[in-house]
Amino acid sequence: MEGGGGRPSAAQAVLLVASTAVTALLYSVYRQKARVARGLEGARRVRLDGDLRAVLLEAPGRCVPYAVIEGVVRSVKETLSSQFVENCKGVVQRLTLQEHKMVWNRTTHLWNDYEKVIHQRTNTAPFELGPAEEGAGGVAVRVLKPLEAAELSLETVYEKFHPSVQSFTDAIGHYISGERPKGIQETEQMLRVGTALTGVGELVLDASTIKLQPPKQAMPYYLSTSDFHSLLQRQEASARFWKTLTVLFGFATCAILFLVLRKQYRHHLERRQLRQMEEEFRQAQERLLREVKAEGGETLKNACVVCLSNPKACVFLECGHVCSCHQCYQALPQPRKCPICRQGISRVVPLYNS
């Protein structure tokens, strides 16, 4: 995986960039989840009693930006009746038709399940959250824009699967086309009157009406059948999950970065050692040149360029340089390269001086 010189290879660079990008993305998701969990933990819990109106009158702008209320669903005017279940009343109704079929995957050569919503309609009726006991002297809170809630708990009150009826010719055609219809699933979901609900959002006092609506802050709006403690635990668990993923990918990114930096450091040490060897070689040549000039001989002309003491005794092929004695040739690191041109040595011919 190592590239030339001290630079990281293309695979290392791509891996480092991808790991960094994934870590940043996971950290962004974690921060969002952690912010939601902290917001829920800091939300003000209010009770549906006679003191609620006074609390809102004292609040700035008659508003609690993020509040938690727990109450029972009550209709304001009319209710919605189930199309399939008798005496089933609600304030939110969702009717769904979903197609089920098998699709041939040409890559894996397997039939895969495929689901598609072909029709969905949602009906709503005005409703409010009130205390569990009618005569408890509490107040009711009007719930606005329930379909904008990040978590809207609907109960499935009716579900039926209508299988497809196929003839023999239809079955052959479906095998050829790569799609085999299984049938249509019909589902009805409702938020029923009397359901205990936990609402988290902005609580405002408008004239004489107390309203729960989506918060103006970038915080989620909840209408959940879970109690507040369970809702908070789910958000905290989600934040911990994304934090764990972020830490794991962060460690992976640091490991890749460490390998790249270690490679560059090793290359730096090798270059420094090479410079030292070149400097020692230059000094040795200068020293030998001074000695030869002092003696007036021809020793330098035939001296090995490596040890500068033994005579040259090898012809390197294919480059043709005559520059080394036999002992220094044997000491060259594998794969052996010519000390002059750094070309690979394919074979060596002895040099015979007459």
* CA 301 – CA 212 distance, rounded (Å): 98
How far is residue 156's CA from residue 154's CA, in Å, rounded to a whole number?
7
| 3-class SS of residue 116 | strand
Residue 137's pLDDT is what?
60
- Sort residue 231 into left (φ over 0), alpha (ψ -120 to 50) or beta: alpha
Contact in structure between 204 and 193 (CB atoms under 8 Å): no
The answer to whether 52 and 64 are in contact (CB under 8 A) is: no
The answer to whether residues 227 and 132 touch, using CB atoms and an 8 Å cutoff, is: no
Taking only the tens of pLDDT, the chain with its 354 residues reads 444 555 777 888 888 899 999 999 999 999 999 999 999 999 999 988 888 888 888 889 899 999 999 999 999 988 999 999 999 999 999 999 999 998 888 888 888 999 999 999 999 999 999 887 765 567 889 999 999 998 898 999 999 999 988 788 877 887 788 888 889 999 999 999 999 999 999 999 988 889 999 998 788 999 999 999 999 999 999 999 999 999 999 999 999 999 888 888 888 898 888 888 778 767 776 776 676 666 555 556 677 888 777 788 888 888 888 888 888 888 888 888 888 888 888 888 887 655
pTM: 0.67
Report the alpha-carbon distance of residue 181 to residue 103 in Å, rounded. 9
Sign of the CA dihedral 133, 139, 142, 143?
negative
- Tokens 């993020």 label which residue? 66
| Number of C-beta neighbours around residue 68 at 10 A | 20
Q: Based on C-alpha coordinates, what's the Rg of the chain?
A: 40
| Contacts of residue 229, Cβ cutoff 8 Å, sequence gap at least 6 | none
Q: How far apart are CA 297 and CA 158, in angstroms?
A: 110
- Look at residue 299 in the predicted model and tell me its pLDDT: 55
Helix (H) or strand (E) holding 244: helix 228-295
